[in-house]
Amino acid sequence: MAPVLALQIVASVGLAAWLWLALLRGRFWWTDVRLPAVPEPAHWPSVAVVVPARNEAEILPRTVPTLLALRYPGPLQVIVVDDGSTDGTGPLVAERWPQVRLVSPGPVPPGWAGKLWALRAGVEAAGDVDLLLFTDADITHTPDSLSRLVALAEHRRLDLVSQMARLRCRTGWERLVVPAFVYFFAMLYPVRWVNRPGARTAAAAGGCVLLRRDALNRAGGLDAIRGAIIDDVALATAVKRSGGRVYLGLAGTVASVRPYPSLAALWHMVARSAYAQLRHNPLLLAGTTLGLAAVFLGPPVSTVVGLAGDRLLAGIGAAAWLVMTVTYVPMLRYYGQPALAALLLPFTATLYLGMTIDSARRHYAGRGAAWKGRTYSHRLPSP
């Protein structure tokens, strides 16, 4: 009797958690926050597009042309920062796109994350511009992307406007993992809370961030977050703390073309920064592990065990599993996946749990946030 009662209590906690998430977590699961159509500004401010690129010779031919095809009525310059590439990224940019400014930031100083050091070089090269668009090397833009971002920033007097680029979702593993990646991000940072001026929640998606130059200065510049591994969230937090207004939405005009063809590739994408999200805190890791297990694995386990002889346990577990499934369906539809795939969310959550634990293992093994031949573990200070 005691084990069954314990399972009923755990299942009840899981159901309560899902009801709270579904009803009181800023409707994180709904995917209707998109870049809205707003009136064009009377004056178009100057913009510098800054692209940090490290060993991106293979992918830039698919993305740089979309930047050069931007239809923007105001002053515009495109800057590619060759961040110590060894694959010919710099010569490729210089030869194929002479209209693009090519910048080399030099060696990364101690205490800096490589991407932020590259962005800093791009900001300096941009000179006295009104707005900066930070966009990753794997991001494509529709021709109206920049004008819509700027129009929204001007119309609502926003200091930072970010779109979460639509990630590639073609292979079986991408279809399983990618929608959940965005779903979990929205659960951590509900976009409605991010976009509320008085709320403490702040986040951005690093693939596409439009930022006012004076807002960056008020926030202390990129120097203020120089050691951040999750640089987009750190940047949005710094801007919001300094009094800036932030907007984050799901993509309508930007997409990532970077492939993640295998589970190993997706595993590395998540594991390289998951433990940094927990501030490298073993207590937070333990709490997260227990929480993920109870919230995502508890409902299906309770349902199956309860069907063997305890209707109450089965009912509580099934109810929690139903709420979980329903909240995941909108994200699957956003990525063009069948609604029935929502039943696999507990399995995907188990993968993410493994990725998070592996991220901690890498950190303590001195192989923390590894990317493009660089590894950040203990040496970077918190911003």
What spatial distance separates the first Cα and last Cα of the chain, rounded to whole Å?
51
Nearest to 53 by CA among 63, 68, 41: 63
Whether the CB-CB separation of 319 and 302 falls below 8 Å is answered with no
Using only C-alpha atoms, what is the Rg of the chain?
22
Contact by Cβ (8 Å): 153, 215: no
One-letter amino acid at 73 equals P
Q: Is the pLDDT of residue 352 over 80?
A: yes
With a cut of 90, say whether residue 309 has pLDDT above it. Answer: no
Q: What is the mean pLDDT of residues 210-232?
A: 96
- Band of the pLDDT at 379, cuts 50, 70, 90? very low
pLDDT at 367 over 80: no
> Tens digits of per-residue pLDDT, 321-335?
999 999 999 999 999
| Tens-place pLDDT, residues 143-170 | 999 999 999 999 999 999 999 999 999 9
Average pLDDT over residues 212-228: 97
274 CB-near residues (< 8 Å, 6+ apart): 352, 355, 356, 359
pLDDT over 70 (residue 381)? no
Set out the domains of the chain in order of their start, with CATH numbers: 2-28+264-363 (no CATH), 47-260 (3.90.550.10)
For residues 174 and 219, the answer to whether their CB atoms sit within 8 Å is: no
> How many whole angstroms separate alpha carbon 378 and alpha carbon 367?
9
Strands 76-82 and 101-103: parallel
Place of tokens 């800057």: 79
**Alpha carbon separation from 42 to 131, 157, 212, 250, 296 (Å, rounded):** 16, 14, 17, 26, 50
Lowest-confidence pick of 71-75, 139-143, 250-254, 318-322: 250-254
- Measured CA to CA, the distance from residue 156 to residue 146 in angstroms comes to 16
List helix spans (H) across the chain.
2-24, 60-68, 89-96, 114-126, 145-156, 172-188, 191-194, 213-218, 231-241, 263-277, 282-292, 298-307, 311-334, 345-364
Q: Per mean pLDDT, which range of 42-46, 138-142, 305-309 is the poorest?
A: 305-309
Q: 21, 187 in Cβ contact below 8 A?
A: yes
**What's the confidence (pLDDT) of residue 3?**
74
